[in-house]
Structure 1
């Protein structure tokens, strides 16, 4: 049974009020879970584990990349990323090549099939998100649009690698 919207959560809060960390965490968790579930229901061809999808997304922006760089960006152990990359090589989504800057090291790049899979995944998710946003009123859509810059800054403050995290 789908989770019911919380009736005690106000959509509009005073601008100077600090958001409740627990409610924000709950909202992010529910959004991720709902998106993941809906994409697999609406698009049954989507079988990639989220960890592989996230690596494809990083490689879509930062390719070629060393396994150690991918691990740092994803906050995963290099051995975990190496195992995921091995699975993705077998699936034909990525290729491992010699790093031209250091022939002792290797880099990972998206293959044409990997880029195609990433494009299909992104398109399906954007279509699903567009449909969900269309079901909201103008005020709610505007609130989400206005919150996006702050949400990106919040992610930076939480310590995304290379994004000016506190204590780095």
Structure 2
């Protein structure tokens, strides 16, 4: 296996294992999965957030995002409101319960990540983070206009 192929395989395996471990801890401590946490974070951080904003951020389909948002609405963590300029679109916002759930979940995610990466030197983590940020930016720049 070539070095780049092995690097890709390692990246995918690390992502899967990290995601699953953080999600399991979050579910155990806060009653929501990492996917739900990510949606709540995006809704909280993007002013006037719409389904398409989440699609663009996560690079998944509109249908998948709509279904996930429906589940957040059903849980009472988010609401859909009328978009002021586009009647075909809605604006997503967190409910007070959604804000509380997100605030309580942030330290759990942070602590889980710190625990899972405890044996790695901070400089190494910084280099990996910078490399991944560059790779992500390059990939996102190359895929503009074709989300999900």
TM-score, L = length of structure 1: 0.69
Q: Deviations over 1:88-139 (max 9, x none)?
A: 1122111111111224432111122112211211111112223444x426xx
In terms of fraction of residues, the more helix-rich structure is 2
Counterparts in 2 of 1:131 and 1:68: CA distance versus 1, 3 Å: closer
The equivalent residue for 1:128 is: 112
Equivalent of 1:155 in 122, 136, 142: 136
Q: Quote how far apart the aligned CAs of 1:20 are.
A: 2.3
Structure whose CA Rg is larger: 1
TM-score, L = length of structure 2: 0.77
Q: Quote how far apart the aligned CAs of 1:78 are.
A: 2.0
Q: How many residues align?
A: 141
Equivalent of 1:31 in 18, 28, 39: 18
Unaligned runs of 5+ in 1: 1-16
Map residues 73-84 of structure 1 onto 2, 5 A cutoff: 73-84=57-68
- Taking only aligned residues, the RMSD between alpha carbons, in angstroms, comes to 2.5
Unaligned runs of 5+ in 2: none
Q: Which has the higher contact order (CA 8 A, sep 6+)?
A: 2
Return the alpha-carbon distance in structure 2 between the equivalents of residues 27 and 81 of structure 1.
24
